[in-house]
Amino acid sequence: MAMLLAAELSTAPRHRHDHRVVHILTQSATIPLPHLKQIHAKILRTSPQLHQSPESVHLYSRLLHFSALQDLIYTLQLFHNIPNPNTFIYNTLIRAYAHSKLHKNRAFSVFQELLEQETLLPDKHTFPFVLKACAHSFDLIEGKQTHAQVFKRGFASDVYVSNSLIHFYASCGLPKNASKVFDKMPERSLVSWNAIIDALVLAGEFYKALRNVRGDDARRLNRTGTRCRASSTPAPVWGHCPWACGCMMRFDENGSSSSMRMALQVLQSMLRRDVNSWNAAILGLAVHGEAERVFRSLFDRMINEDKLRPNSITFVGVLSACNHRGLVDKGRRYFDLMSSEFKVEPLLQHYGCLVDLLARSGRIDEALDIVSSMPVKPDDVIWRSLLDANCKQGEGIDMSQEMAKRLMEGEGGSSSGAYVLLSRVFASANRWDEVGLIRKLMMDKGVGKEPGCSSVEVDGVVHEFFAGDTTHPQTREIYQLLRWMEERVKMAGYVHDLSQAPLVDEARDGKRDSLRLHSERLAIAFALLNWKPGAAPIRVFKNLRVCKDCHNFIKLISRVMNVEIVMRDRLRFHCFSNGSCSCLDFW
């Protein structure tokens, strides 16, 4: 559509030209950056009156929306050339950054710029966008500053804003703060109840989550149309029973095994179970590698006891269970059963599970055969899975280059992952010229590697650490403890795994030093400095995937220090205890 517009602009009459521009920018789902720049240039050259018209606010909000996900520098140039941007334009830019993969921190910077404008004020749409960005990056300081502005600007009673605050505090692992916001709300919606239940369940406070909705608001929600399945339990609880079953399997003060038992007890006690209830339990067990229990205790019982037919989500869970345990033969069998026995046509997600399972199990050729024969176009997730597996297994450079090319052609071209993986392939083959070219390409495209960041809560305060951080007041003690911890785990058999070390450190000692300073190690060392025996598990949130070396290190720390560590990385939760991890080393 964008290409057609570019061809039409030079010949269309002026009035049709203006109308066509607005229509395309409004109706298009995506516009590649070269076409977007061409459209923008022609707007400025051929329609100066459109540039200054009342429609320009919506027009430029769409230009910002498309450009912010592709080119940060161009987006900022575009924004700063907008004549008199209003709050709507600022909100559009904040929202675009909040949804981006690499530049969420820019959302708060733009928010600060808005606050500095003498003639503009944030509105009720501004704060949810900013809080969403803070929640995804676990940025407690900026989130709390945003909360302060919510009070200052008089939006504390807005339901939509308050719901965003609850979600933000829940994401940062602060259920008490979320509860305070919830308790002070003069009016609550069903979304409000959903958000506070989410906050409590993620913190492991399951029974409080169930008790929390037994008040007047919950009964009022029941009367307004949400049908309750048990007279003694309000509708919001039952509406969340399938979801709660899955969430309970992620966190528990006494360990993951007890929380899974609790989830299955909730499932068993439900007066009526539907396919969604079973799906939630299947997905919950799957992410903990409990594949056999998925098959025997859930999938078979759902079909034989409740006489329910599995749907596409059921098979996402079952295939994920196979994937988390590397069960290739079972994965293939269940994939075939989908269509042959249950008449469920495989979707992209099912193909993605199977391709990832095959690739991570070393069967890359079989995975490529699936990709070449599947009836749907492979997405970035599939190409990233193939590239990641190919790099880890040291397969051919030509194949990795082809996979990286496919990934960069899609949305993955704006992410650093493909570039870093391909760089590692060239580095392992000592082809340093190509490594340098890839780094230059990343700089030219404005693609930056997202820095590792981990946060941990101690005594109600969240502390944030970046890789190699030296800004914390206890930095000296943290590094001393890290050195002592490394000596202890070496005695327990720890050996550095340099396979995923940063490429900038070509020397072996440099790579080892960079691994020692990963953000999760700093966060755990700080927590241990202030940890009391018998206290709740140490909970760490990391924005990136944990590397193999840190995973091995933390497993041994849990045994040597006799402490339970729960870490959420970009992919999943890891529960470290007594020298092992709930992911069973397959993540």
Structurally, how many domains does the chain consist of?
A: 2
Which helix (H) or strand (E) segment is 540 a member of? strand 538-542
Is residue 445 one of the residues assigned to a domain?
yes
Give the domain-ending residue among 450, 475, 490: 450
Calpha distance 376→372 (Å, rounded): 10
Closest by CA to 487, choosing from 423, 547, 560, is 560
- With a cut of 80, say whether residue 226 has pLDDT above it: no
Quickly state the pLDDT bin for 554 (edges 50, 70, 90). very high
pLDDT at 120: 92
β-strand 573-577 against 565-568: which pairing, if any?
Answer: antiparallel
Do residues 454 and 522 touch, judged by C-beta distance below 8 A? yes
Q: In degrees rounded to 5, what are phi and psi of residue 114?
A: -60, -40
The SS3 of residue 394 is coil
- What mean pLDDT do residues 166-187 have? 90
Lowest average pLDDT, out of 73-82, 106-115, 469-478, goes to 73-82
| Contacts (Cβ under 8 Å, ≥6 apart) of 530 | 458, 459
Is residue 399 one of the residues assigned to a domain?
yes
Q: How far is CA 191 from CA 6, 157, 185, 194, in A?
A: 43, 15, 13, 5
Asked whether residue 525 falls in the same domain as residue 415, the answer is no
- With a cut of 90, say whether residue 293 has pLDDT above it: no
Is residue 252 one of the residues assigned to a domain?
no
β-strand 538-542 against 453-458: which pairing, if any?
Answer: antiparallel
- What mean pLDDT do residues 540-563 have? 92
pLDDT at 415: 65
pLDDT at 426: 80
Asked whether residue 432 falls in the same domain as residue 543, the answer is no
Asked whether residue 404 falls in the same domain as residue 517, the answer is no
- What mean pLDDT do residues 221-236 have? 35
% of the chain exceeding 70 in pLDDT? 75
Calpha distance 257→238 (Å, rounded): 23
CA atoms within 13 A of residue 422's CA, in its CB half-sphere: 29
What dihedral angle (degrees, nearest 10) is formed by the CA atoms of 160, 166, 167, 172? 150
Count CB neighbours of 210 within 10 A: 19
Average pLDDT, the chain: 78
- What mean pLDDT do residues 203-209 have? 61
Which domain, by its residues, includes 403? Answer: 393-450
Pinpoint the alpha helices (H) of 326-363.
328-340, 348-360
Is residue 124 one of the residues assigned to a domain?
no
Predicted confidence (pLDDT) per residue in 84-131, tens digit: 788 988 988 888 788 776 667 788 989 999 999 888 999 999 999 999
Closest by CA to 123, choosing from 99, 154, 157, 97, is 154
Neighbour-count burial for 234-258, b at 16+ CB within 10 Å, e otherwise: bbbbbbbbbbbbbbbbbbbeebbee
Give the domain-ending residue among 406, 426, 450: 450
Lowest average pLDDT, out of 11-15, 18-22, 402-406, goes to 11-15
% of the chain exceeding 90 in pLDDT? 30
pLDDT at 440: 83
- What mean pLDDT do residues 417-433 have? 78
Count CB neighbours of 527 within 10 A: 21
Query: 194-198, 419-423, 541-545: which has the highest mean pLDDT?
Result: 541-545
Is residue 254 one of the residues assigned to a domain?
no
Q: How far is CA 43 from CA 5, 60, 233, 351, in A?
A: 11, 11, 59, 42
pLDDT at 254: 39
Higher local confidence (pLDDT), 201 or 49: 201
- With a cut of 60, say whether residue 247 has pLDDT above it: no
Do residues 102 and 416 touch, judged by C-beta distance below 8 A? yes
Higher local confidence (pLDDT), 334 or 138: 334
Distance from first CA to last CA of the chain, Å, rounded?
A: 40
Asked whether residue 543 falls in the same domain as residue 438, the answer is no
Q: pTM for the complete prediction?
A: 0.56
Give the domain-ending residue among 450, 469, 491: 450
pLDDT at 395: 64
Asked whether residue 443 falls in the same domain as residue 459, the answer is no
Quickly state the pLDDT bin for 400 (edges 50, 70, 90). confident
- What mean pLDDT do residues 278-287 have? 82
Closest by CA to 549, choosing from 509, 585, 507, 503, is 585
The SS3 of residue 453 is strand
Is residue 514 one of the residues assigned to a domain?
yes
Is residue 259 one of the residues assigned to a domain?
no
pLDDT at 514: 57
Q: In degrees rounded to 5, what are phi and psi of residue 581?
A: -130, 150
Asked whether residue 473 falls in the same domain as residue 429, the answer is no
Which tokens hold the place of 488? 């202890």
Question: How many degrees, rounded to 5, is the angle at CA 161 between CA 125 and CA 453?
Answer: 90
Asked whether residue 440 falls in the same domain as residue 496, the answer is no
> At which residue do the structure tokens 């409080």 appear?
208
- With a cut of 70, say whether residue 482 has pLDDT above it: yes
Calpha distance 221→216 (Å, rounded): 9
Quickly state the pLDDT bin for 333 (edges 50, 70, 90). very high
The SS3 of residue 367 is helix
Asked whether residue 485 falls in the same domain as residue 524, the answer is yes
Asked whether residue 512 falls in the same domain as residue 402, the answer is no
Asked whether residue 495 falls in the same domain as residue 444, the answer is no
Is residue 493 one of the residues assigned to a domain?
yes
Asked whether residue 419 falls in the same domain as residue 507, the answer is no
Do residues 491 and 483 touch, judged by C-beta distance below 8 A? no
pLDDT at 241: 44
- With a cut of 50, say whether residue 246 has pLDDT above it: no
pLDDT at 367: 94
- DSSP string spanning 284-319? HHHTTT-HHHIIIIIIHHHHHTS-----HHHHHHHH
Predicted confidence (pLDDT) per residue in 490-535, tens digit: 998 888 776 655 544 444 444 445 556 899 999 999 999 998 777 7
Q: In degrees rounded to 5, what are phi and psi of residue 523?
A: -65, -45
- What mean pLDDT do residues 249-261 have? 47
Higher local confidence (pLDDT), 462 or 483: 483
- With a cut of 60, say whether residue 360 has pLDDT above it: yes
Calpha distance 131→150 (Å, rounded): 11
pLDDT at 208: 66
Higher local confidence (pLDDT), 173 or 153: 153
- The partner residues of 457 in beta bridges, in order of sequence, read 462
Closest by CA to 209, choosing from 172, 184, 234, 181, is 234
Which tokens hold the place of 527? 């927590």
Predicted confidence (pLDDT) per residue in 347-358, tens digit: 999 999 999 999
Predicted confidence (pLDDT) per residue in 426-470, tens digit: 877 778 888 888 888 877 777 767 788 999 988 778 898 998 888
The SS3 of residue 508 is helix
pLDDT at 501: 56
Lowest average pLDDT, out of 40-49, 242-251, 577-586, goes to 242-251
Asked whether residue 478 falls in the same domain as residue 436, the answer is no
Which helix (H) or strand (E) segment is 214 a member of? none
Closest by CA to 571, choosing from 551, 549, 552, is 551
